[in-house]
Structure 1
Amino acid sequence: MEKQQQSRWYALYTRSRAEKKVYTQLKEMGIEVYLPLRRELRQWSDRKKWIEVPVISSYVFVNIIPRQYRDVFNANGVVAYVSHKGQAVPIPDHEIEAMRRTVENQFNFSVEAECLRKGEKVTISSGPLKGIEGEVEEVQGSKKLYIRISHIGYMLVLNMDEVIKQTNE
């Protein structure tokens, strides 16, 4: 099978607050879909409650083969593929894996719009993120790892001192 016929990851832009519904519909259609979620404590007037919210608002990620390209639009809430010059832009597998491992290992991280200057490229050599590539930058005495999610303009930012501490616990 040629590389072009293999499945590839793409970012889908969804309507606001429709990520979970889109995720469920795509899964029911048999499409491999990834919606990174994190737990947040929300305050209401009468109570506090832990809820799961998308790591990156208005985005879900699908791993599809070319013939499934149009099928995703059967899910109510899908707006468009993240594209460049009218073509959907594939997300490299290693970026999806880096995001998945960061979220699943429950590391503390923030999500920032990509507007940071480029730093030294590194590959983590040990611990739960072994093999993950990123960029390290010295910021006020702390080391940060930036995991770029191509073409959507976001990155996960991990404080490496906290990652090392969590890994050693």
Structure 2
Amino acid sequence: MYAIQSAQWFVLRTNYSRELKVMKQLADKNIQCFIPMKYKNIIKDEQRKRIKVPYIHNMVFVNIARNILDSFIAQSDFNCPVSYMKKNNSNEPIIIPQQEMNNFMLVAGCNQENLIFLNDGIEKFAQSDQVRVIGGLLEGLEGYVVRIRRDRKVVVSLQGVVAVAISGIHPSLLEKIH
């Protein structure tokens, strides 16, 4: 018999850019999941179309109890290989704290053109000033101020997974967290 577990945020890995198929299967089962999306302009049959595509390929963020997700993966309910993203030198899956995931979804879900996703060097962001946005659309967002490409950006990091930087936040809307 399964012990009752609370929902946590996990990162699932897929291959061959099948993250949207996995997300659809999870959404059909009423499981909360998230993939950061952006708009991309394509030309098809001499017509311009604006479509939504993932910022990050082969990665799906899922909010579910681990035992339920384990049973989905074990029963191969997905039409493609799916596995947990694991911690370094460990067989344990990465669990993302709710507050970090809320900050990440707030920034990555805003569909702005001024987002930069960073894969490497995530740990260096913890050495800069930690701030909270106190106004505007991103009110409540917590992150680090970092200089990237000659511009100050607020960086939100999911430790060990990915970081996203956003520019265009006026310094008067930032409050330093001690």
What is the TM-score when the length of structure 1 is the normalising length? Answer: 0.81
Deviation at 1:147, TM superposition (A): 1.0
The partner residue of 2:152 within 133, 138, 143 is: 143
Name stretches of at least 5 consecutive residues in structure 2 with no aligned partner: 174-178
Supply the AA of the counterpart residue of 1:26. L
Q: How many residues align?
A: 159
Shift of 1:33: 1.5
Please say if residues 31 and 63 of structure 2, whose CA atoms lie closer than 8 Å, have aligned partners that are also in contact: yes
Say which SS state the counterpart of residue 87 (structure 1) adopts: coil
1:82–1:151 Cα contact (<8 Å) kept:
no
User: In the alignment, which of 115, 122, 134 is matched to residue 125 of structure 1?
Assistant: 134
In structure 1, stretches of 5+ residues that fail to align are none
Does the aligned pair in 2 maintain the 1:105–1:128 contact within 8 Å? Answer: no
In structure 1, what is the equivalent of residue 164 of structure 2? Answer: 156
The question of whether the paired residues in 2 share the 8 Å contact of 1:14 and 1:80 is answered with yes
Task: Say which is worse superposed, 57-66 or 35-44, in terms of deviation.
Answer: 35-44
Partner residue of 2:176? none
How far 1:28 moved relative to its partner? Answer: 1.7
**CA–CA separation in structure 2 for the residues paired with 1:94 and 1:15:** 28
Report 1:13-32 matches (<5 A): 13-32=13-32
Structure 1 residues 114 and 140, CA, compared in 2 at 3 Å: closer, same or farther? closer
The amino acid of 2:120's aligned partner reads: E
- Judging by fraction of residues, say which structure has more strand: 1
Q: Any idea what the Cα deviations from partners look like across 1:27-68, whole Å, max 9, x if unmatched?
A: 223322122211111245733321111121111111111321
Distance in 1, Cα, partners of 2:118 & 2:20: 21
What value does the CA root-mean-square deviation take over the aligned residues?
Answer: 2.3
Q: 1:78 to 1:34 in 2, by over 3 A?
A: farther
What is the percent sequence identity of the aligned residues? 23
Q: TM-score, normalised by structure 2?
A: 0.78
Q: CA deviation at 1:128?
A: 1.9
Contact 2:106 2:141 in 1 (8 A): no
